[in-house]
Amino acid sequence: MSFELPKLPYAYTALEPYIDARTMEIHHTKHHGGYTANLNNALQGSAWEGRSIEEILQSAGAISPAVRNNGGGFYNHNLYWEILTPGGSREPEGVLLDAIRESFGSVAALKEAFTKAAVTRFGSGWAWLLLHDNKLVVSSTPNQDNPLMDVAEVKGKPILGIDVWEHAYYLNYQNRRPDYVEAFWNLINWDEVAGKLKG
């Protein structure tokens, strides 16, 4: 049994003009594809072969750097493609909206906190909205780490994440990471985020 690169539920062109097709294609086929292949290679013959990706990541402190980095890369990109959707301008609603208001006061305040985490993450990494002790919080992680990992500064269940590696935006935005983070807010699949909060 090995992990498989998922097919995207939309075309590479679908997120334009916010994320360009060339970035999407390279990101999915080369970067995510690379993490997936390297994860499978690193797991082969190891004690972690056959475990779920969540189980593996929860033991990040005990696994090899190759499994930690590529396992994180595999999981993080799965989540990233899932929480993006073309043409979405919908807002969070229902239980998710209630939880956001309880933790942050408003969607605008969440956006501000999330944007700050994404823009100020030094170098490569991710910013997250996660469920931590039954409360929504924002955090960021370096490299391909994520909040599921036992080594994460803020641990919990990620329900929204943004990739701030330069490969996620450089072709279109070059050094302008804040513009990419701003554009990301036009693409969020809030139904999917709500599903992750429930599930």
Residues that bind Mn ion (CB under 5 A): 31, 163, 165
Shortest separation between residue 20's beta carbon and Mn ion, angstroms: 14
For Mn ion, give the closer residue by CB, 163 or 192. 163
Burial class (CB in 10 A: 0-12, 13-18, 19+), 166: middle
In Å, how far are 141, 169, 170, 193 from 176, measured between CA atoms? Answer: 20, 9, 8, 26
Shortest separation between residue 45's beta carbon and Mn ion, angstroms: 27
Kindly give, in sequence order, each residue whose CB lies less than 8 Å from that of residue 7, ignoring residues fewer than 6 positions away.
none
For Mn ion, give the closer residue by CB, 82 or 163. 163
For Mn ion, give the closer residue by CB, 100 or 189. 189
Residue 13: both structure tokens together: 């062109």
**76 φ/ψ sector (left φ>0, alpha ψ -120 to 50, else beta):** alpha
Shortest separation between residue 104's beta carbon and Mn ion, angstroms: 26
Element (H, E) at 99: helix 94-104
Shortest separation between residue 77's beta carbon and Mn ion, angstroms: 6
Kindly give, in sequence order, each residue whose CB lies less than 8 Å from that of residue 146, ignoring residues fewer than 6 positions away.
57, 72, 75, 76, 126, 128, 152, 158, 161
Shortest separation between residue 109's beta carbon and Mn ion, angstroms: 27
Shortest separation between residue 193's beta carbon and Mn ion, angstroms: 19
For Mn ion, give the closer residue by CB, 76 or 189. 76
For Mn ion, give the closer residue by CB, 80 or 114. 80
* CA 9 – CA 12 distance, rounded (Å): 10
Question: Mapping DSSP to helix (H, G, I), strand (E, B) and coil, where does residue 97 land?
Answer: helix
Question: Closest CB to Mn ion belongs to which residue?
Answer: 163
**Residue of 192, 14, 161 lying closest to 90 (CA atoms):** 192
For Mn ion, give the closer residue by CB, 31 or 116. 31
